[in-house]
Chains A and B, each alone.
Chain A
Amino acid sequence: EIVLTQSPGTLSLSPGERATLSCRASQSVRSSYLAWYQLKPGQAPRLLIYGASSRATDIPGRFSGSGSGTDFTLTISRLEPEDSAVYYCQQYGTSPFTFGPGTKVDIK
């Protein structure tokens, strides 16, 4: 099973600042099959990024993904108040499709 580690655990930033979230895998993720999801309380999870760097439908351009192998990054270029959420990475290259423990982003 591929174990994903996310850092930091919590990020507290102001609107307009840049957020950089890290996801590290215990072994190489096949074909960069790495996704990022946003979870807000009471809402359905939302796919942001897939294939490490492709934005999902209707996702704003301020969200971008990068990385390959075992190291991946989600960047939110200019934080908006509505970006307050928990962000999870997931590898779907190898079953079981594991998730990281999440990074909580707080907007000051």
Chain B
Amino acid sequence: EVQLVESGGALVQPGRSLRLSCAASGFTFDDYAMHWVRQVPGKGLEWVSGINWKSSTIIYADSVKGRFTISRDNAKNSLYLQMNSLRIEDTAFYYCARDKNIAAAGPFDYWGQGTLVTVSS
């Protein structure tokens, strides 16, 4: 059974940093690209970033480019999102999602339950 479990969400002040993790199991992790998607509570979905199987293709939404860094450790079956210079508008549930393919090209066939990041002073 495919499982994606996010962790690392917290309450953090504007301007600070936070690192999210996603532990993957039930599939061969390095056969798939991975993504982060976020959802402001009560609002819609926003794709944040994607990374292909060998980390050679990395893409970001303009809203996080230069502040967030996606990475993966295939040996640990883990995906990460380093979030720097956090803003109030980054407050959201952050979902880890598996790409259906090896390239970061979508769609997203399995998702985690999400972890909440709250940016507030």
Q: Which of A42, A88, A95 contacts B45 (CB 8 A)?
A: A88
Q: Shortest distance in angstroms between A101's beta carbon and chain B's nearest beta carbon?
A: 5
CA distance in complex: A40, B37 (Å)? 16
> Residues of B contacting A47 with CB < 8 Å?
100, 107-110
> Residues of A contacting B37 with CB < 8 Å?
45
Q: Is the CB of B45 within 8 A of A35?
A: no
CB-CB under 8 A for A45 and B106, given A96-B61, A97-B50: no
Q: Is the CB of B44 within 8 A of A56?
A: no
> Residues of B contacting A57 with CB < 8 Å?
109
Q: What is the number of contacts between chain A and chain B, taking CB atoms within 8 Å?
A: 66
CB-CB under 8 A for A45 and B45, given A33-B106, A95-B59, A97-B106: yes
Q: Is the CB of A43 within 8 A of B113?
A: yes
Q: How many residues of B contact A (CB 8 A)?
A: 24
A59-104 interface (Cβ within 8 A of B): 88, 90, 92, 95-102
Q: Is the CB of A99 within 8 A of B59?
A: no
Q: Which of A46, A96, A102 contacts B47 (CB 8 A)?
A: A96
Q: Is the CB of A92 within 8 A of B95?
A: no
19 contacts between A and B (CB under 8 A): A35-B107, A39-B45, A44-B111, A46-B111, A47-B100, A47-B108, A47-B109, A50-B109, A57-B109, A88-B44, A90-B45, A90-B106, A92-B107, A95-B50, A96-B47, A96-B61, A99-B44, A99-B45, A102-B45
Q: Which residues of B contact A (CB under 8 A)?
A: 4, 35, 37, 44-47, 50, 59, 61-62, 95, 97, 100, 105-114
Which 9 A-B pairs have CB atoms at the shortest separation, nearest pair first?
A92-B106, A35-B107, A50-B107, A99-B45, A44-B111, A97-B47, A45-B111, A47-B109, A96-B61
